[in-house]
Structure 1
Amino acid sequence: MRKSFVKILIIAAVALSVGGNLASAKILAIKGGTIHTLGKKGTLRNGVILIENGRIKRVGANISIPDGAEVIDATGKIVVPGFMHSGSYLGLSEISLTKDSNEHSAKKSPLSAAFDVRYGLKSNSVVVADNRRHGLTHAISQPSGSDGIFSGSGAVISLTNSPDMVFAKGPMIANPAKAGNRNLGWGKIRLILDQVTYYNDNRSRIMKGEGPGDFLLTSYNMDALVPVIKGRQKLVLMVDSVDDIRQAIALKKDYGIDVIISGAAEGWQVAQELAAAKVPVLINPQTNLPSSFGALASSFHNAAKLAEAGVEFAISPGGMARNHNAFMVAQMAGLAVAHGLDWDRALRAI
């Protein structure tokens, strides 16, 4: 179970991710490797992946390779699907210290919930290309913050460096800590959700000036939150502590919204509650030391404990691993395996 991710040579989603001969070949066959399909076929020894015109057509142990196909011999190697980072800045930042190459922040602007990163993604990003070279094929690119609790909407992207790299609109991001303290944070989130619900139900009256005039957000920022209260867009809450995780669970129950928790450093302590509420989490397996009072119970065993309880989770490291080194999701998965997480479960988390 402690196989090294360093042994991974080829990504099964190679047609989506690499340039040159592999992407342009009409028929490509990857043969001889140990294929972790992460699907019903499970793990295949000495398997074959057949790719035609850039799309995976067949995966199996007894597949005939057509004449003229380009063949990659993966004998003795591990073949896995392309990796994914679920909370990156990919396509939004080239050089961290230069303002003109960073598009992920809504700070010092009137936008908060209405901020949408899809409009500023760089299709020719060299950071995207480099991460693709390391096996990352998909990501959620998200805003880093605003002057409010809500940071805006992310984007689900394919690391193709093409103009159509955006698959879909991503989740809404919110950080209760931006309010100043926990009471303010959760109080404001609930008040804002109440106001957005009222605003959506009474829009015509409000536009005529017949409604209240003390909304916490502007109309365009409230408009951006309507898909959240309608359950059409996921809300990612950036919290770590047991108490904040419970507040997030309560928010889902009270408002019927689709909640994901990002961080969840103390998630292992309330794993059963997360599983019962069906609230998925995004975690960094490297989090072991408390970075705040909300993360005092951080543990390398977080991933293993969450998996044991049946919590759905994905691995989403921060820092440099959020952008330039986003491919380190594989290393973080290996770290989780070293502390008790099942190898295949770690692979599914990336």
Structure 2
Amino acid sequence: MLAVKGGKIYTMASKRVIEEGIIFIDGGKIVDVAERAEIPAGVEIIDAKGKYIFPGFIDAHCHIGLFEEGVGAIGEDGNEWTDPITPHLRAIDAVNPADVAFKDAVKGGVTAVFTGPGSANVIGGQSAALKTHGRVVDEMIIKSPAGLKIAFGENPKRVYGEQKKSPATRMATAALLRETLYKARNYKLKKERTKEGEVFETDLKMEILCQVLDKKLPLRAHAHRADDIMTAIRIAKEFDVDLVIEHCTEGHLIADNIAKENVPAVVGPSLTSKSKYELKDLTFKTPGVLAEKGVKVAIMTDHPVIPIQYLPLLAALAVKEGMKEEDALLAITKNAAEIIGIADRVGSIEKGKDADIVIWDKFPLDLMARPDIVIINGEVVYKG
């Protein structure tokens, strides 16, 4: 057993902060969180007096392991540019745990990620939730699949328009997605009506889309512009499927609409140049505006767009531009976990959760803050 004692504990399970608490860890899990408790003899103790203790931070949208750091084109496995409809692709079949960005994540206090395909395709494939420490991806998986990537706007129309293929317009992007979901409905109905003993030909593309139709898997929609956000919401309502808006760059312009539809948003990466028209209204005000309207918000790096270790910095910049400090912290802990669908394991310091804990030398939204100790699954994986 391991005990972390003496630090100021932000459980993120509630607004309550434990000024000098104790966290007991055993078997990779948190077994107790207390203000005061006797520590049994023989228990290993980590003294965190004067430090800040948080659950490991969670990047709710990135491409870590799929676009490898310092490798170049040979390490890019996140976009299958040859077919706009590829729901059967799985991120875990391309993630390289040896990507040095995983070590950077740990050093930055990021202990879990949602990683997956890029936005070249209308339907890009299946994303996964992973821990950031492990030798093989199978040991790092929290949930796979954790979402099905879809994309609107400039990226798919540019990729396929240049090939003189569909989609070359926003109309075609929406039409292809809608057509594919109708095919999945028909496939699901045919499968349900197939009698025992009859031959039924399995279609891997349709199988994963059936999980979407059954609300076992959300659509994770790349959408920057306000009109693209509303198109994603329109199609999700038409097929009665779960949806998460990713990027949501112009979300502050239609915050009331997004809140009305009860759709969560993973916002960012906001620390970039306005490199294309879709980003003309890019601002760190967006997550705060959305949160104020009642939208469940997470903040992303979109790594490698923003290096993953700077996730706390992005939350701090959102606070600088008006987001409440508590909302910003939730956006990289509990909210992120809930949006991904892994809050039963991570995102807060609570009894029964995975022991993913970071001890900070300063408040983590302070630019000068550094993790002193990072614990994942109850194991100390980094000491600063």
TM-score (norm 2): 0.74
Are 1:167 and 2:129 matched, yes or no?
A: no
* Alpha-carbon distance in 1 for matches of 2:64, 2:269: 20
| Preserved CA contact (<8 Å) 1:285 1:333 | no
2:304 paired with 1:346: no
Q: Secondary structure at the match of 2:92?
A: helix
What is the rounded CA distance, in whole Å, between the counterparts of 2:320 and 2:107 in structure 1?
A: 25
Specify which of 4, 24, 29 is matched with residue 50 of structure 1: 24
1:35–1:43: 8 Å Cα contact kept in structure 2? Answer: yes
After superposition, the C-alpha distances for 1:234-289 in whole angstroms (9 at most, x for unaligned) are 10110111111111221222110111111111101211211121111111162586
Q: What amino acid is aligned across from residue 341 of structure 1 in structure 2? A: M
Distance 1:46 1:60 in 2: 9
> Which residue does the alignment assign to 1:232?
216
CA distance in 1, matches of 2:11, 2:192: 51
Check 1:188–1:126 CA distance in 2 against 1; reply closer, same or farther (3 A cut): same
Residue type of the alignment partner of 2:229: I
Aligned length: 310
Counterpart in the other structure of 1:150: 123
- Correspondent of 2:236 among 252, 274, 280: 252
Is residue 168 of structure 2 the alignment partner of residue 194 of structure 1?
no
Q: Is 2:197 the partner of 1:222?
A: no
Alignment deviations for residues 18-37 of structure 1 (CA, whole Å, 9 cap, x no partner): xxxxxxxxx22222221110
CA distance in 2, matches of 1:203, 1:89: 34
| 5+ long unaligned stretches in structure 2 | 157-166, 195-201, 333-384
Structure 1: segments with no counterpart, 5+ residues:
1-26, 207-217
**SS state of the match for residue 8, structure 2?**
strand
Secondary structure of the residue aligned to 2:20 is strand
Partner of 1:129: 103
CA distance in 1, matches of 2:107, 2:43: 23
Q: Is the 8 A contact 2:90 2:125 kept in 1?
A: yes
Secondary structure of 1:221's match? helix
Q: Provide the residue aligned with 1:328 in structure 2.
A: 310
Using the TM superposition, name which of 132-141 and 192-201 deviates more: 192-201
Partner of 1:266: 250
Q: Give matches, 1:1-350, under 5 Å.
A: 27-40=1-14, 42-95=16-69, 97-108=71-82, 112-145=86-119, 148-163=121-136, 164-168=139-143, 169-177=145-153, 178=156, 179-202=167-190, 219-284=203-268, 286=270, 290-321=274-305, 325-350=307-332
Moved more, 76-85 or 280-289: 280-289
**Cα offsets for 1:287-342 (capped at 9, x unmatched):** 586443333333221111111001011111225356xx212111101111111112
Q: Distance in 1 between matches of 2:243 and 2:277?
A: 23
Task: Give the secondary-structure state (helix, strand or coil) at the position aligned to 1:46.
Answer: coil
1:129–1:161 CA contact under 8 A, matched in 2: no
Query: Root-mean-square deviation (CA), in Å?
Result: 2.6
% identical aligned pairs = 26
2-side partners of 1:96 and 1:102: how far apart? 11
Deviations 1:87-141 (A, max 9, x none): 2222334345444434333234797111111223334444323321321111111
SS in 2 for 1:153: strand
Asked if the contact 2:67/2:304 (under 8 Å) is kept, the reply is no
* SS of the residue 1:66 aligns to: coil
More off after superposition, 254-263 vs 34-43? 34-43
Give 2:115's aligned amino acid.
Answer: S
**Structure with more relative contact order (C-alpha pairs < 8 Å, separation 6 or more):** 2
Q: TM-score, normalised by structure 1?
A: 0.80
Task: Report the residue type matching 1:342 in the other structure.
Answer: K
